Amino acid sequence: MMHPIFRQRKYILNYCAVWFAIGAIQTSILNYFYGFRLDIAFADSFVFYSLFGILSIGLWYSVRQNDFATNRVTDIVLNHLGIATITLTAWYFTGYYVLNNLIKNNDQYLTFLDNSLPWRLASGLFYYLLTILFYYLIVSFENLQEKTEKEAQLNTLVKETELNMLKAQINPHFLFNSLNSISSLTITNPAKAQEMIIKLSEFLRHSIGHKERDMVPFKEEIAQIMLYLDIEKVRFGERLQYQIDIDEGCLNFPVPNLLLQPLFENAIKHGVYESIEKVTINFTGKTDVKGVIISIANNFDPTSSPRKGNGLGIKNVTNRLKLIYQYDDLLTINRTENTFEATLLLPYNNLNNND
C-alpha cells in the first residue's frame, strides 16, 4: 500500500507545513524564553524536527506491520516500545552530533544541548505517539472504506442474483400456459395452434436476445407486449381486446426488461379466463414530474368465480421494482366492482441501470 503522505502533492506539502509549524514554535520558545539568538534557535529546531519528520515517514510501515486486525494488542505495544526506543535514540544522538559540530563556539547553547536529553525524549515520545495514532486512523479509515466497497459489491451481486431469479420465473410461467393452450388447439384448431407456435417462437427469440439487459427503451417493452398479446389473441380471439395509448415522450424512457408481461398475464388470467364477454385491456403510458406512469386496466365479470392463483406475477413485479429503484410503493393496485387496474410509477432518478 502506497505511503499516504506521497499519494498527492498536497499531502506532502501539508506534512512539511505541520513540521515547519512545530519547528517555528520551538524556535520562538528558544529565542524568547531561553534567550538564544534567532539563528541558533532556528538551527536547533530545524535539525531536530526535520530529522523527526523524516523518521516519522518510516513509522507508517511499522504501523502497517502492527495492524490491530491481525496482531495481539500486547505484541503491538511491545513492538512499538522497541521501535520508539530505536527511533528516539537515533533521533536525539543524530541531532546532538549535528548541532554539536554546527554550533561550536556558543558555550551557553552547548550546555543547554547537553542538558536537554530528558525533555527532548519526552517531546519525541509525544510526537511519536501522535504520529502512529494518525497513521492508525488512516489505516482504520482505509479498512472501513475497503469493507464498505466489498459490502457494496456483495450487495450488487446479491441484487443481480435476485433479479435474475425473478426474471427466470417469468418465461417458465408463461410457457407453461402457452404450451397448454397450444396442446388444446392442436386438437380443436390446428391452424391456430401453428400460428400460435410461430408467434411464440418470435416472442421467445426477442426475449432471449434481451435476457442479459435489465433496462430497455419503453418502445421495446411495448413491442414485446404486443407480441405477447398477439399470442394470447390467437387463443381467445374476439374475447380479448386491447387499447394502447402511450405518450411519445415515454418511448425512449428506460424500463426494466419484461417488467410488464406478468401484469398483462394477470389481466388475462383474471379477466378473459373468467368472462364469456369481451374483455378490454387498456394500456396507457404518460410522463409525469416524477417519472413515467404506466397503467394496465381490464374489466372482468364480477359474477364469475375468481380464478385461483399464487400472486406470483404481482409479487414478481413488486420485488423487481424495489430492487431496481429502491422504493416499495411504485406499484399500486386498484380493484373496483368490475375493473382491475395496476399502476406503476417508474421514477426519473435512482435508476440502477445494469446494462
Query: Region 169-196: what's the mean pLDDT?
Result: 77
Nearest to 211 by CA among 220, 86, 94, 5: 220
Intra-chain end-to-end CA distance of the chain, in Å: 33
Can you list the positions of beta strands (E) in the chain? 215-217, 240-246, 254-256, 279-287, 291-299, 331-335, 339-347
Nearest to 91 by CA among 65, 136, 62, 57: 57
125: cell is: 515520545
Single-letter code of the amino acid located at 217 = P
Check residues 157 and 116 and name the one with the higher pLDDT: 116
Cα distance between residue 353 and residue 324, in whole Å: 8
Q: Model-level pTM?
A: 0.53
Burial class (CB in 10 A: 0-12, 13-18, 19+), 253: buried
Query: Region 88-115: what's the mean pLDDT?
Result: 94
Phi and psi of 226, rounded to 5°?
A: -65, -40
Single-letter code of the amino acid located at 209 = G
Q: Which residue has the cell 522497541?
A: 82
51: cell is: 530529522
Task: Give pLDDT tens digits for 27-50.
Answer: 999 999 999 999 999 999 999 999
* Cα 138 to chain centroid, rounded: 22
> Please, which pLDDT band fits residue 343 given cuts at 50, 70 and 90?
very high
18: cell is: 505541520
> Please, which pLDDT band fits residue 316 given cuts at 50, 70 and 90?
confident
Domain 170-347: which CATH number of 3.30.565.10, 3.90.1150.10, 3.90.1640.10, 3.40.50.300: 3.30.565.10
Single-letter code of the amino acid located at 14 = N
345: cell is: 410509477
Q: Where are the domains of the chain?
A: 4-159, 170-347
Rg for the chain (alpha carbons), in Å? 38
CB-CB contact of 265 with 312 (8 Å): no
> Please, which pLDDT band fits residue 179 given cuts at 50, 70 and 90?
confident
Query: Region 76-83: what's the mean pLDDT?
Result: 94
CB-CB contact of 331 with 344 (8 Å): yes
Q: Is the pLDDT of residue 53 over 60?
A: yes
3-state secondary structure of 60: helix
Q: Is the pLDDT of residue 323 over 90?
A: no
Cα distance between residue 274 and residue 298, in whole Å: 12
| Per-residue pLDDT, 168 | 55
CA angle 110, 108, 35 (to 5 degrees): 120
Looking at every residue in the chain, the average pLDDT score rounds to 86
